[in-house]
Structure 1
Amino acid sequence: MIRKYFSGHDDPGGIRELFTLALPMIISTACDGLMTFTDRLFLAKVGSEQMNAAMSGGVTLQVLIFFFVGLTGYSTALVAQFFGAGEKHNAPKAAFQAILVTLAAWPVIILLKPLTFLFFEVMNIPESQIGYQVQYLNILVWGSLFGMMRYTLGCYFTGIGKTRIVMTATIVALVVNVLLDYVLIFGKLGLPQMGIRGAAIATISGAFSAMAILIAVYLGKTNRRQFAVTRSFRFEQWIMKKLFYFGTPAGLEMFLNFLAFSIMISLFHSQGDAVATASTIMFNWDLISFIPLIGMEIAVTSLVGRYMGAGQPEVAQHAAISAIKTGIFYSAVILVLFLFVPESLVRVFSPQAPDPVFEEAVSIAVSMIRIAALYVLAEAVMLALIGALRGAGDTHFTMVASVTVHWITLPILYFALNVFGFSVPFSWFLLVLFFLVFCWVLVIRFRSGKWKKIRMLHPEVT
């Protein structure tokens, strides 16, 4: 079956080349998803309130860091284009500019932390949840530097096509995180039961271990000699200018989208403990289905960037189409699971002690997971096209289109839940419909071919 799938697709930009690059990134992002999933699964055994708090607190942290993650993440495309153009000495220079931005971002994130606590109060988060949420976020903010540095260094290795290094570091992070989750959340090996605080400590410990591995390889002899790394440790204005020009839209897109997503989560959670539990379970399973597709997006960004840097836009287009085909194949499997065994998926999160709130949430979560089956297919196409457009430098369009759609969904959800009194599953269905519209907008942009005319490596920024 696998051989037939790859047959005839081993040309440049074909499925074989894409999959070779993407598989380590899919495994890496899947490990990231498993870390988050395990946090919430273990916390569900302690109590639904702590699981819900980890969901909201984790998304809030992403709101704080994702502008910088989006900005520095664009170094993947810059590194890939330098690499594709034969300018290997400039690849680590682009990476170092992203490292400088990451180091400068950390104190800003810490200073913004009090605003998040005010946000929790404004959104009427249930009292049973908000205390845990503050504890969780407070620890994650202080350890956020490790996660951001790990991501920034990973962008460099992805850009030069060495995704196995990123995969190895992420697998180590997963092992560290899951082991510490078990020990700290439940209080094993003679340690006190820490619950959600233990989950936060496990998360930043996993990020630190991955960061340490990536730094060691980045500064290793092979990488230093091949890419002249030691001569890259300086501010390069022209590269930093490109990073900000092309990366700022990506950063703004991620920040504004996750801010919208955070508000969306809060709107669901404000409907009561049962709805909070149901939506958290649904988004946990959506995360598991979604995260591997992010690996595909990162890979296609790198591959498209490489071929655009080499002056081969038609091969870059072929790579994007290969990503769409692969993503749809994967999403079809998820669709079957979501449609036919949703209750089994929900009951994975059953607490250790009988919980009437959880039982009330089961039917709501089942309906939401079935509706999410439509969303997963759209995600496969969306992420492949977004990755391709970003790799080519078409970040301004993707920012405007994506942010517009995400923020339109918020008043729709608010009015559906709080004004018209629609059910939670039907309100979720309305949001899914709007994301299907966004998918079609991306298809139109991709088919227009305007992205093929962007030349990132010209002396002019534009």
Structure 2
Amino acid sequence: MLDIRYKSILTVALPMMLSGFIQSVISITDAAFLSRFSKLAYDASGSAGLWYITMYMVFIGLGDGAQIAMAQKVGEKNAKGFAAVFQSNFLILVISAITLTLLVQLCMPSLMAYLVTNNELARAEQSFLEIRSYSFWAATITISIQASYLAVGKTTLVLITSVIAAVSNIILDYVLVFGIGPFPRLGLEGAAIASTGAEFLAMLFLLTTLIGGKLKKHYPVWKENFITKRQMNENLKIGIPLLFQGIVALSIWTIFFIWIEQMGGDNLTVSLNIRYVYFLAFIPIWGFAAATKTYIAQYFGAKQFEQIPVIQKRIQLLTVCFLLLTFHGSIFYPEALIRLVSDHPEHVVKSAQILRVVSGSILIYGLGSVYLQTISGLGKTRFTFAVECLATSLYIISAYLFIKVWNWPIQWVWLVEYVYFITMGLSSFAYLKWINRITDKIVYE
């Protein structure tokens, strides 16, 4: 099992943070190229990217559920149980890829035409999504293997995978967006092809590490078939709430951006700037979130409940320190951060105003996410889904009032982030306190 010293926690979390940073580099690279190609391409990739991420949350949710289940098997020292979770998760992801590909190809054109007021933008978004949907097939392998590595704390391989994806994406963006040498000038479609190709290259690397690596020596992931109806149900019991949790969160954010687009002017463009830069702040939070799930699940599986509060406090302290280190620029030099994705002077000024307003919400998220991920690590994912529903309900109600009823300026509309993060943190904290009262398992002090 993993050691809970600060050094050990960082050993697990740092590669995930760097992986998150690299994923942000991919998004920022696409944004930087497309913002210099055309405003339509930039807006379409940003809006369609939200749709893509929303659907991709199916894989993330199921992968997170498998990570938790496999980490608990590690704590229980149950190698065959680990393999059963892995194999069942892969089969579920294949079914998901088929379903989502059909959804994008058959249903999204009509939905996009209905929701997006600009017809040219709607067509561009659909073109982007049709290409990106092929990445779902890479995700079936990538997410399956990544979940197993996270469950045992082998996060360095996940980091290397992200490096491969980022480097290949930058190269492909460079040659396909503007057309370099023999390659045609493809613009928005070029960016979509670049990102999809990069994900397949990363998938091939992960598959190679699993085939030739040591994990299969400890856990018989390929030796025999461990898939059963019972195991499938157990995977879905943990993974489905996380799946819907991610879909709900991203769907609400997508609606938020649709409403911003309907405000007119450059509000969508400056808000997309925030979306890209925002992910820089999430780097340490997501890195420690992955570590939290693995640590809590392993120690819960081993029935060492008294260590769980210690793990929480140490990860919260590390999260705050890294947030201050990596995202202090949102207060002191937000214009420099915005210029990473856009060089339009007016857009930079308006985006910087928003960034200053929302900066405090990130710190709240960093603290609250540890409580939420603790609940996930315990396997109580139905409650994390309930927390998500409560937080997003208050979020979308607030957004509706700010945008549709009160017509606030765009920088004040973004105060909805505080509504979401405060609700999420307080609800998770309250649930953990409640567990202490009804059980003898100490999960929070």
- Check whether TM > 0.5: yes
CA distance in 1, matches of 2:230, 2:150: 22
Preserved contact between residue 402 and residue 408 of structure 2 (Cα < 8 Å)? yes
CA contact (8 A) 1:53 1:129 kept: yes
Give the corresponding residue for 2:84. Answer: 93
Contact 1:73 1:152 in 2 (8 A): no
Matches within 5 A, 1:337-356: 337-350=329-342
Task: Between 70-79 and 332-341, report the one with greater CA deviation.
Answer: 332-341
Between the two proteins, the alignment pairs up a number of residues equal to 439
The one-letter amino acid of 2:383's match is F
- For structure 2, the 5+ residue unaligned runs are none
Kept in 2, the 8 Å contact 1:278–1:364? The answer is yes
CA distance in 1, matches of 2:287, 2:216: 26
Do the aligned residues in 1 keep the contact of 2:338 with 2:352 (CA within 8 Å)? yes
Q: Which residue of 2 aligns with 1:123?
A: 115
Superposed displacement of residue 433, structure 1: 3.5
Alignment of 1:207-246 (within 5 A): 207-220=199-212, 222-246=214-238
Q: 1:297 Cα shift? A: 0.7
- CA distance in 2 between counterparts of 1:130 and 1:283 reads 20
Following superposition, the deviation at residue 360 of structure 1 comes to: 4.0
CA contact (8 A) 2:113 2:119 kept: no
Residue 442 of structure 1 corresponds to which residue in structure 2?
Answer: 428
* CA deviation vs aligned residue, 1:285-323 (integer Å, no higher than 9, x gap): 101211342121111101111111111112123212211
Change (3 A) 1:453 1:27: farther
Matches within 5 A, 1:79-228: 79-113=70-104, 114-220=106-212, 222-228=214-220
1:49 shift after superposition = 2.2
Q: Residue 31 of structure 1 contacts residue 170 of structure 1 at CA under 8 Å; is this kept in 2?
A: yes
Following superposition, the deviation at residue 221 of structure 1 comes to 5.7
Q: How far apart, CA to CA, are the structure 2 residues paired with 1:452 and 1:58?
A: 43
Matching residue within 270, 284, 293 for 2:276: 284
SS in 1 for 2:97: helix
Q: Which moves more between the two structures, 435-444 or 193-202?
A: 435-444
Q: How does 1:393-432 map to 2 (within 5 A)?
A: 393-432=379-418
Tell me the alpha carbon deviations over residues 154-201 of structure 1, each in whole angstroms, 9 at most, x when there is no partner: 001110121111111221111111111111112113211111111111
- The residue number in structure 2 matching 1:392 is 378
Residue equivalent to 2:65:
74
The DSSP-based 3-state class of the residue aligned with 2:107 is helix
Does the CA contact (< 8 Å) of 1:393 and 1:451 recur in 2?
Answer: no
CA contact (8 A) 1:335 1:374 kept: no
For the pair 1:316 / 2:308, whether they are aligned, the reply is: yes
Q: CA deviation at 1:411?
A: 2.8
- Which residue of 2 is the match for residue 7 of structure 1? none
Structure 1 contact 24–167 (Cα < 8 Å) conserved: yes
| Cα shift at 1:81 | 0.8
Root-mean-square deviation over aligned CA pairs: 2.2
Asked whether the equivalents of residues 80 and 302 of structure 1 are also in contact (C-alpha less than 8 Å), the reply is yes
Deviates more, 1:124-133 or 1:43-52: 124-133
State TM-score, norm by structure 1. 0.89
Counterpart amino acid of residue 254 in structure 2 = S
Query: How far apart in 1 are the matches of 2:46 and 2:202?
Result: 22
> How far apart in 2 are the matches of 1:366 and 1:53?
22
Secondary structure of the residue aligned to 2:303 is coil
SS in 2 for 1:270: helix
- 1:59 maps to what in 2? 50
Closer, same or farther: CA 232–388 of 1 in aligned 2, 3 Å? farther
Matched letter for residue 147 of structure 1 = A
- Is the deviation greater in 429-438 or in 12-21? 429-438
Equivalents in 1 of 2:256, 2:182: separation in Å? 40
CA gap of 1:208–1:434, structure 2 versus 1, over 3 A, is closer
Mapped partners of 1:361, 1:151: distance in 2: 36
Unpaired runs of at least 5, structure 1: 1-10, 352-357, 456-462
Partner of 2:328, secondary structure, is helix
Aligned to 2:341, what secondary structure does the other structure show?
coil
Cα distance change, pair 81–451 in 1 and its aligned pair in 2 (3 A): farther
Per-residue deviation, residues 190-214 of structure 1 (Å, max 9, x unmatched): 2111111111111111111111121
Please tell me whether residue 263 in structure 1 is matched to residue 255 in structure 2: yes
Q: Using a 3 Å threshold, how does the CA distance of structure 1 residues 286 and 125 change in structure 2: closer, same or farther? A: farther
Shift of 1:12: 4.3
Q: 1:374 to 1:452 in 2, by over 3 A?
A: farther
Counterparts in 2 of 1:90 and 1:327: CA distance versus 1, 3 Å: same
Residue by residue over 1:392-446, the C-alpha shift from the partner in whole angstroms, topping out at 9 and shown as x without a partner, is 1121111111122113222321232122211111111144234223222222223
| Aligned mates of 1:431, 1:230 — CA distance in 2 | 44
Is 1:392–1:451's contact at 8 Å kept on the other side of the alignment? Answer: no
Partner in structure 1 of residue 350 of structure 2: 364
Name the CA distance, whole Å, in 2 between partners of 1:342 and 1:167. Answer: 27
Work out whether residues 82 and 88 of structure 1, in 8 Å CA contact, stay in contact via their aligned partners in 2: yes
Instruction: Please tell me the residue identity of whatever aligns with 2:177.
Output: I
Counterpart amino acid of residue 42 in structure 1 = F
Q: Identity of aligned pairs, percent? A: 20
CA distance in 1, matches of 2:375, 2:116: 38
Is the Cα contact below 8 Å between 1:153 and 1:215 reproduced in 2? yes
CA positional deviation for 1:334 = 4.3
What is the CA deviation profile of residues 312-352 of structure 1, one whole-angstrom value per residue up to 9, with x for unaligned ones?
A: 1121232122111111111223452101211222233335x
Higher mean alpha-carbon deviation, 322-331 vs 409-418, is at 409-418
* Kept after mapping to 2: 8 A contact 1:392/1:452: no
Task: Write the letter of the residue equivalent to 2:378.
Answer: A
